[in-house]
Structure 1
Amino acid sequence: MRPYLLLASLALPLVAGTASARDLTAVASFTVLADVVHQVAGDHVTVESLIGPNGDPHEFEPSPKDAKMLKSADLVFVSGEGLEGWMDRLVTASGFAGTPVTASAGIDTRTMDEDGETITDPHVWNDPNNVKTWVGNIEAALAKADPANAKAYAANAKAYLAKLSALDAQAHQAFDSIPVSERKVLTSHDAFGYFGRAYDVTFLSPVGLSTESEASAAGVAGLIDQIRAEGVKAYFFENSNDPRLVNQIAKATGARPGGELYVESLSDASGPAATYEQMMRYDIQQLAKAMKGNS
Structure 2
Amino acid sequence: MLPNVARRVLLGTTLGAGLAGTLPARAQAPKRVVATFTVLADMAQNVAGEAVLVESLTRPGAEIHDYEPTPLDVVRARAADLVLWNGLGLERWFERFFSRAGATRQAVLTEGITPIGIGEGPYLNQPNPHAWMSPTLALVYVENIRKALAALDPANAATFAANAERYAAQIRAVDARLRETLARVPADRRVLATCEGAFSYLTRDYGLREAYLWPINAEDEGTPRQVRAMIDTVRRARVPAIFCESTVNDRPMRQVAREAGARYGGALYVDSLTAEDGPAPTYLKLLEANAEIILRGLTGAAR
Q: CA deviation at 1:70?
A: 0.5
Tell me what 1:106 maps to: 112
Q: Which of 149, 153, 158 is 2:156 aligned to?
A: 149
Tell me what 2:56 maps to: 49
Deviations 1:210-261 (A, max 9, x none): 2433344233212211110100110122211111111111111111121221
TM-score w.r.t. structure 2 length? 0.89
Equivalent-residue separation in structure 2 for 1:154 and 1:82 (angstroms): 28
Q: CA deviation at 1:19?
A: 10
Equivalent-residue separation in structure 2 for 1:11 and 1:45 (angstroms): 14
Equivalent-residue separation in structure 2 for 1:181 and 1:189 (angstroms): 22
Tell whether 2:226 aligns with 1:231: no
Look up the SS of the partner of 1:191 in the other structure: coil
Change (3 A) 1:33 1:212: farther
Q: Which of 263, 268, 279 is 1:272 aligned to?
A: 279
Equivalent-residue separation in structure 2 for 1:239 and 1:256 (angstroms): 17
Alignment check: 8 A CA contact 1:58 1:85 kept:
yes
Q: Which of 146, 150, 155 is 1:139 aligned to?
A: 146
Q: CA deviation at 1:52?
A: 0.6
Look up the SS of the partner of 2:157 in the other structure: helix
Deviations 1:146-201 (A, max 9, x none): 01111100000000000110111011101223333211132121111100010012
Give runs of aligned pairs for residues 206-217 of structure 1, distance below 5 A.
206-217=213-224
Change (3 A) 1:260 1:214: closer
Tell whether 2:199 aligns with 1:192: yes
Structure number with the higher helix fraction is 2
Q: Which stretch has the larger CA shift, 97-106 or 270-279?
A: 97-106
Q: Where does the alignment leave 5 or more consecutive residues of structure 1 unmatched?
A: 1-8
Q: Which stretch has the larger CA shift, 40-49 or 197-206?
A: 197-206
Alignment check: 8 A CA contact 1:10 1:53 kept:
no
Give runs of aligned pairs for residues 39-118 of structure 1, distance below 5 A.
39-95=46-102, 97-115=103-121, 117-118=124-125
Equivalent-residue separation in structure 2 for 1:27 and 1:236 (angstroms): 31
Equivalent-residue separation in structure 2 for 1:241 and 1:190 (angstroms): 12
Q: Which stretch has the larger CA shift, 240-249 or 171-180?
A: 171-180
Equivalent-residue separation in structure 1 for 2:282 and 2:226 (angstroms): 35
Equivalent-residue separation in structure 1 for 2:45 and 2:25 (angstroms): 17
Equivalent-residue separation in structure 2 for 1:66 and 1:80 (angstroms): 18
Deviations 1:66-111 (A, max 9, x none): 000000000000011000111111111122x134200011112100
Q: Where does the alignment leave 5 or more consecutive residues of structure 2 unmatched?
A: 17-23
Q: After the TM superposition, list the runs of 4 or more consecutive aligned residues in structure 1 that deviate by more than 4 angstroms.
A: 14-21
